[in-house]
Chains A and B, each alone.
Chain A
Amino acid sequence: MVRLVKSLEPSPGFPEGDPIALLQERFPDAISPADKGNHTGVIVESDRLPEVALYIRDQLGYQYLSSVTGVDYLDDGYFEVVYHAYRLSGGGPLTFKARTPREDPVLPSLVAVWPGADFQEREIWDLYGVRFTGHPNLKRILLWEGFAGHPMRKDWKEPYYEEEHKPFKSRWPQGHFAMAEERTPWGRNVQYPPDFTPEGWTPEGDAALYEGLLELETGHGNGKGLRTDRVVVNMGPQHPSTHGVFRMVVTLNGETIVDLEPVMGYLHRNHEKIGERNTWLGNMPFTDRLDYICSMHNNFGYAVAVEKLMGVEVPERAEYIRVIMAELTRIVNHFIAIGFLFNDLGAFFTPALYGLEERELILDLFEMASGSRMMCNYFRFGGVARDLPEEFLPLARELVENRLPRVIDEFETYLTGNEIFLARSVGVGVLPKEMAIAYSTAGPVLRASGVAYDVRKAEPYGIYDRFDFEIPIGTNGDIFDRYKVRIEEMRQSLHILKQALDQIPDGPIQAGKKAYQVRVPAGDAYGRVENPKGELGFYLVSTGGPNPYRYHIRAPSFINLTSLGEMSKGHKVADIVAILGSIDIVLGEVDR
Chain B
Amino acid sequence: MSEEFQNDPRVPPELRHSVFITTLDKIYNWGRKRSMWPIMFGLACCAIEMIATAASRFDMARFGMELMRPSPRQADLMIVSGTVTKKMVPQIVRLYNQMPEPKYVIAMGSCATSGGPFKEGYNVVSGIDKFLPVDVYIPGCPPTPQALIHGFVKLHEMIEGQTIRDVPWYKEGVVDAIPVPALGPDLLDWRQAQEIAARARQIAEEAQEEEA
Contacts and interface: CB of A to CB of B under 8 A. Distances in A.
Given A190-B186, A199-B197, A269-B118, A373 B203 contact: no
B44 A194 contact: no
Interface stretch (A29-37, A178-186, A468-476): A178-186
Which bucket holds chain B's interface residue count?
A: 35 or more
B97 interface: no
Given A238-B95, A357-B57, A198 B43 contact: no
Contact of A267 (B44, B196, B207): B44
Interface in A381-400: none
Nearest to B70: A240
Interface string A143-182: 1101110010000001110100000000000000000110
Contacts of A266: 85, 87-88, 91
A374 B142 contact: yes
Contact of A375 (B87, B95, B118, B141): B141
B49 interface: yes
Given A148-B185, A374-B49, A375-B142, A194 B207 contact: yes
Contacts, number: 169
B174 to A, nearest CB: 24
Nearest to B145: A373
Contacts of B57: 356-357, 360
B184 A196 contact: yes
B182 A181 contact: no
A328 B176 CA distance: 50
Interface in A216-252: 237-240, 244-245
Given A144-B87, A266-B85, A194 B45 contact: no
B126 A189 contact: yes
Interface size class of A (residues with CB under 8 A): 35 or more
A481 to B, nearest CB: 26
Contacts of B207: 194
Contacts of A239: 70
A268 B87 contact: yes
Contacts of A240: 40, 70
Contacts of A201: 184
A588 B43 CA distance: 9
B113 interface: no
B187 A190 contact: yes
B121 interface: yes
Contacts of B204: 194-195
Contact of B88 (A267, A277, A292, A375): A267
Given A189-B124, A192-B200, A267-B44, A198 B193 contact: yes
B82 interface: yes
A268 B186 contact: no
A159 B122 contact: yes
Contacts of A245: 42-43, 88, 91
Interface in B40-68: 40-45, 47-49, 51-52, 55-57
A269 B88 CA distance: 11
Given A143-B87, A188-B130, A194-B203, A292 B183 contact: no
B186 A192 contact: yes
Contact of B186 (A148, A181, A357): A148
A360 B52 contact: yes
Contacts of A359: 52
A292 B47 CA distance: 10
A188 B126 contact: yes
Given A146-B185, A374-B45, A269 B124 contact: yes
B123 A269 contact: yes
B125 interface: yes
B150 interface: no
Contacts of A205: 183
A286 B187 CA distance: 24
Nearest to A264: B87
A533 interface: no
A335 to B, nearest CB: 12
Contacts of B124: 189, 269-270
A322 interface: no
A552 B89 CA distance: 26
A265 interface: yes
Contacts of A244: 42-44, 47
A190 B196 CA distance: 10
A186 B199 contact: yes
A239 B49 CA distance: 18
A426 interface: no
Contacts of A160: 119-120
Given A158-B120, A270-B122, A353-B55, A198 B188 contact: yes
A151 B122 contact: yes
A203 interface: yes
B45 A588 contact: yes
A285 interface: yes
5 contacts: A238-B70, A245-B91, A274-B118, A353-B56, A374-B49
Across chains A and B, which 3 residue pairs bring their CB atoms closest together, nearest first?
A270-B121, A148-B185, A292-B45
Interface of A: 142-144, 146-148, 151, 158-160, 162, 180-181, 185-186, 188-199, 201, 203-205, 237-240, 244-245, 265-270, 273-274, 277, 285-286, 289, 292-293, 352-353, 356-357, 359-360, 373-375, 587-588
